[in-house]
Chains A and B, each alone.
Chain A
Amino acid sequence: MLHQLIRHLPRFMGAAGAVGALVLSAPACAADLTVSAAASLTNAFRDLAPAFEAAHPGTKVQLNFAASGALLQQIAKGAPVDVFASADQETMDQAQTQKLVEAGQRRNFVSNTLVVIVPTGAAAAATPKAIGDLTQPAYPRIAIGLPASVPVGRYTQSVLQAAGLWAMMEPKMIGAQNVRQALDYVARAEVEAGFVYATDAALMPDKVKVALTVPTTTPVLYPVAPIVGSPNAALAQQFADYLVSAPAQAVFARHGFGKP
């Protein structure tokens, strides 16, 4: 048994080597553009990527969506990202402080609105008329993006703090890892209300309804920038430029985003 194994060992090792070479072979071809974008941009960017690929033959756009803060941590730890689009200025400011993006290369490409949503079918009494209503016992659970890493949570926190409601709301907060998770919590009626962007609420009109539009203390402006040291710097810049072009802006408008 053992000597048989030893006799076949070279063949085993050859096979293992072949598999290893396959696994380690260049994971991305030269014209792969990796774009890390805020979760709220998911649908719009999925529509835009094919158009950009068509305009730049041979280019493949790889989209990576998560909370802006989580994306920043990946990039800061060395993830091979070419373009970063965040849902707030603060995350991009942090990227700039860490010299991951250059001030001169970032630009705002869309704006958005903060809204309070409730599950459809919720009783009329459970539809808040003002954000202060959310402190009532009718709303024991409220989905809010985690302020430490999710921009929509940060906008929500600053609005609630400015209104003097944060201390009352924090114990009711169900933290979401990104805005789409907050949307999902409301859509499944696991929470009585949630803070998301207007563009997210519009994705599930049969499951959630917008109860309130919430004016934010700072405008919800999305910046984009190529990552410093990207091997596809020119292409990354072209992608950032493309986002502010008229055709791309038309796609954003269709998804409910505002002009920057």
Chain B
Amino acid sequence: MEGAWVALALTLKVASCATALNLLFGVGVGYAMARWRFPGRDLLDALLTLPMVMPPTVLGYYLLVLIGSRGPIGAWLLQHFGIRLIFTWQAAVIAATVVAFPLVFKAARAAFETVEPQLEEAARTLGIGEAAVFFRVSLPLAWRGILSGLLLSFARALGEFGATLMVAGSIPGKTQTLSIAVYEAVQAGQDDMANFLVAVTSLTCIAVLLAAGKLVPGRVAPRL
């Protein structure tokens, strides 16, 4: 049963890293899409939302082909830096980040679109720079929506299975997250282990939802 705690720690690490990455990318891209109009914006929006609707196995295959040691990105990393991503926990982070990205991106875009442009204009007339407008006006006003997207993406990353299994494999203590450990225990007929893992996973998810309710009070919480 000790393995379950190792798997839990790894799962939290992977989900936290993925959520941190999505805070950067999701909010950045969401802001860009909300503020700038350019040809092909709808197509780009659809492409960026694709990971939410595509089967995780399809994403896993794309990732495997791209970052595998014989893939374009994987071969480049291997040649120049000696980095191999497949079967590492970093590969699990990449899979979870890609799968959960649309949840942050969509929430951030919608949140930024509800921010009154006049407020940003007013800030500019008062003479503060663009970066300050973003960090002191737009971001605080959009924060609530972004936070709810981040929590959803954390929850999604916690449960990620298909793409993760394909690019990170199932190495106990290294890449074996809770969902993969459950799958493996069931395959091997270790029902005691499976029961324990399922209980740990369920409790973790309940804790995350309760924390989400505390972090995002009011109208946003019930959406989870």
Contact = CB atoms under 8 A, between A and B. Distances in A.
Interface in A188-208: 188-191
Contacts, number: 53
A256 interface: no
Contacts of B69: 188-190
Contacts of A148: 184, 187-190
Contact of A149 (B86, B172, B187): B187
B68 interface: yes
B186 interface: yes
B188 A149 contact: yes
Interface string A44-76: 000000000000000000000001011011001
Contacts of B170: 146, 175, 177
B169 interface: yes
Nearest to B176: A175
Interface residues of B, number: 18
A73 B187 contact: yes
Interface in B13-72: 64, 68-70
Contact of B87 (A73, A149, A174): A174
Contact of B86 (A72, A73, A76, A190): A190
A141 interface: yes
B189 A72 contact: yes
A73 B189 contact: yes
B9 interface: no
Contacts of A72: 189
Contacts of B210: none
Contacts of B86: 188, 190
Given A146-B188, A149-B188, A174 B169 contact: yes
* Max count, chain A CB within 10 A of own CB: residue among B64, B171, B172, B189: B189
Contacts of A191: 87
Most buried by A among B70, B169, B187: B187
A69 B187 contact: yes
A17 B126 CA distance: 63
Given A174-B87, A174-B171, A175-B169, A188 B68 contact: yes
Contacts of B172: 175
B188 A69 contact: yes
Nearest to B74: A190
B66 to A, nearest CB: 12
B72 to A, nearest CB: 14
A69 B187 CA distance: 7
A168 B86 CA distance: 22
Given A174-B87, A174-B169, A149 B68 contact: no
B68 A70 contact: no
A80 B64 CA distance: 34
A188 B70 contact: yes
Interface string B166-184: 0001111000000000001
Contacts of B68: 188-190
Contacts of B190: 148
A69 B87 contact: no
Contacts of A174: 87, 169, 171
Contacts of B70: 188-189
Those 6 A-B pairs whose CB atoms lie nearest each other, nearest first: A148-B188, A149-B188, A70-B187, A149-B187, A190-B86, A73-B189
Interface of B: 64, 68-70, 84, 86-87, 165, 169-172, 184, 186-190
Given A177-B165, A185-B169, 12 more contacts: A73-B186, A141-B87, A146-B170, A146-B184, A148-B189, A149-B188, A174-B169, A177-B184, A188-B70, A189-B69, A190-B86, A190-B87
29 contacts: A67-B187, A70-B187, A73-B186, A73-B189, A76-B189, A141-B87, A146-B170, A146-B187, A148-B187, A148-B190, A149-B188, A149-B189, A174-B169, A175-B170, A175-B184, A177-B165, A177-B170, A177-B184, A185-B169, A188-B64, A188-B68, A188-B69, A188-B70, A188-B86, A189-B68, A190-B68, A190-B69, A190-B87, A191-B87
